Structure 1
Amino acid sequence: MNGMTVKKILKMFYITALIFVLTTIFILSNQDGIKSNSITSSISGKFSSLIKQTFNSKYIKLTRKDGRITAFYSTYGLLWWKIGDSIDLNLARKIYMGLAVTSHNTEALCGAVFSDVKVTSRRNSIRFLNYESKDIGKVKLKGSTSFLQGEFIVKGSGKDIWRGEDEFQFAYIPVEDDCTITTRVVSMDNTHEWAKAGIIMRDSLQPKSSYAGVLMTPGGHTSFQWRNQNELGQKLEYSQSLLLNYLLRKILHFTEYFILTLLVYGTITIVFKNSCKKVFLTGAFCILYAVSDEIHQIFIPNRNSSVYDVLIDSLGVLIGTFMVYLYRKRKNSKFKNKKSEQDTV
């Protein structure tokens, strides 16, 4: 196979691949927003199920600042996601904050393991090891809290932490003013689908006390719930599959424009051999196409344009152009070295 044949094959490959990618991007952009979202939701949902089978623990956080309570959760304790919006709750200046477990089954104790418990106030960090523990409400089975090798083992029975009089085991410390508590719920027993383990801030140790808490169930569901003078409230976490769906769609944006950049550069190089400023032309074309793609989506049902998507597309283009720039620079360097060796000979 001679050099001319190889060039013809490459030329056909780049042109065909480029047309295919441009057509694919156009078709995806032309899809109804609901249909498009359902496809990626299905993929991310299956991936989310796989993750939940592998990682059962979760980090949770509860903060009070100027009377406003905010709840967060995190898979690894690095990136924190809010659960709903912050709420205004009239808790006393001095509150009781700590770990809570209820079995939602008066005939059983639910055991939960907590690690990485950290409490901070406006002024300093507080040692949670100075905790006290007791059963809140008229529990049938006595609960307990112990500390072993860096983990808190909390065992509690009780009907629930929700409406009426709460019943649960509470390991707590008193804290004043603004404060934050974070922990990792390592595991919990499945005594009932609505058994709960998590962190709570309470006005008092009375069963009907106002409170706010981030609580998990054995199935891995997490909620931000509160009670203020018999008024109940609850906000569920954003579904992990929804988060994965969002990330998947943004990764697809990045990837398709990264591949497009490589193909455009290859096509310009093969088809227009003497074209100058190949890298610049490649980047300019791909970014302009990304902009036109977002404008196109304005006219598609259930779709809208996004500046953030253009930025993500452009990031794929910039990294792609940087790679072809390095490739071109390395190729020119090899050519110069080879020519220098020939001149020397």
Structure 2
Amino acid sequence: MRTKNMAQIPAKMKALVNHGPHDYRLEMIDTPMPGPNEVLIKVGACGICAGDIKCEAGAKMFWGENPWVKTPVVPGHEFFGTVVAMGEGAEEHFGVKMGERILAEQILPCGKCRFCKSGQYWMCQPHDMYGYQGKIADGGMAEYMLFHPNSVIHKIPDALSLEDAAFIEPMACSMHTTERANIQFEDVVVLAGAGTLGLGIVQAAALKHPKKLVVLDTIEARLELAKKFGADVVINPAKEDALKAILDMTDGYGCDVYIEATGNPRGAVQGLEMTRKLGRFVEMSVFGADVTADWSIIGDRKELDILGAHLGPYCYDTVISLLERGLITSKGIVTHTFDLDHWKEGFETAHGKDAIKVILKP
């Protein structure tokens, strides 16, 4: 095993550990050591995702009859760090060196299923997921983190700020969502939800130069950021009839593309109403509750294309390049930083309306 300095890697490390809904604890646990083709990083920062908030709160999608989350597990999937130790063969396996800043995509694909073999690794059938699947895939809310041999690793230029580096994973998800929308020059695009992922989508969609980019949110500060990032029109549905506004600007037809990024069931129902016939509806949110809608809208009334968006496959290197060139940014999106000792305050802040992206810095 190669290490930067073994004496600097403690036997125990501070980590947030998920033991179940409403049962997250800050603990001292064993620092993982890399085996063959494994890499240990010193975590630089880890974002708190809406999924992390809903997981801690006991959302059904995480804690159903057969819980998807395998506890105990260190949460956190929006991480990056510096290589401090490598197991035998890891340098050649990943093409990384000691001291480099890297991240791993949150999914751990098996490499053997039909999806992996066809290049669709992000939909791997038996996959593990960093931050959710027990000791197999502990996440980044800890001082150190182990990247396993089947990790999908990307290098981070030294020029990127800590905030930009922590923004890479959510921005990759935003870019993949934008690609799924297949935005054309003549499209009127409506994005519902200007949180971290939504504001990433605004930036990516603006680079596609649609005819009109409209952003919906109930928080004025987020709408102001959306305008800064390229939105042509912003609407606060709490103050204005958003459906009427979209119909008025499209001669009564509705938008060509609707991207749902609120995580609120109403956002999904609104999108079905707002999208024109033969339009495209893209769903990328994590919901804490079931969504009930009139599905006849999808088929009999409008013949909509309903598209999902999962993770950020094949987007990381592009996101890193765009960040490096200043074409997208985390400025204004990363609003709060906490250390691990104050993780509770971090989660509470992330759940509130004054924050957009909250990161933990071990």
Q: TM-score range by the shorter chain?
A: under 0.3
Q: Higher helix fraction: Structure 1 or Structure 2?
A: 1
Q: Higher strand fraction: Structure 1 or Structure 2?
A: 1
